[in-house]
Amino acid sequence: MHSGNYCVTASVDVVNFLQPIEVGELVTLKAWVNYVGHSSMIVGIRVEAENIRTGERKHCNSSYFTMVAKDDAERDTNVPGPVLRNKREICRFLNGAESMRGRKQKGRSSGDIDLGGEAYKKDLEGYRVMVELAGKA
């Protein structure tokens, strides 16, 4: 767990239902910490279903949860900043930062973020992140 602490759900920002999950399908949930503030995190969750007879997989649901880390006294507690290892993680982080800045505004799409050259570094200024790009995302 990224925070190292107990976390509670503060909000569910987006839930996109894309495909139904049929009875008997194997369901897999994949989660990523997309953004980290001081005590909060935006966690993206992708739900996939697999027909166990045919092996066909489908993307059924995507959602974004804001989680808040709590200490033993149930007070908000700081979480460590993320290490961003590829351009996809940078896009996720910047989308989360935009979402946190104005929940009324729609987050930027990956196409709106300039990842050419070093332009994204200016967008990341002021956040507690480390960028360790090993190659292209």
Distance, CA of 5 to CA of 44 (rounded, Å) = 18
pLDDT at residue 31, as a whole number:
95
Other beta carbons within 10 angstroms of residue 48's beta carbon come to 17
Interval 37-63: pLDDT, tens:
999 999 999 999 999 999 999 999 999
User: What integer best gives the mean pLDDT of the chain?
Assistant: 87
Confidence of residue 86 (pLDDT cuts 50, 70, 90): very high
Asked whether 69 and 47 are in contact (CB, 8 A), the reply is no
Q: Which CATH superfamily is domain 1-79 in?
A: Hotdog Thioesterase (3.10.129.10)
pLDDT reading at 104 higher than 90: no
| Choice among 65-69, 74-78, 80-84, 119-123 with the minimum mean pLDDT | 119-123
Average pLDDT over residues 65-81: 95
| Between 100 and 55, residue with greater pLDDT | 55
Per-domain residue ranges for the chain? Answer: 1-79, 82-137
Nearest partner of 6 among 72, 64, 81, 66, judged by Cα: 72
Confidence of residue 88 (pLDDT cuts 50, 70, 90): very high
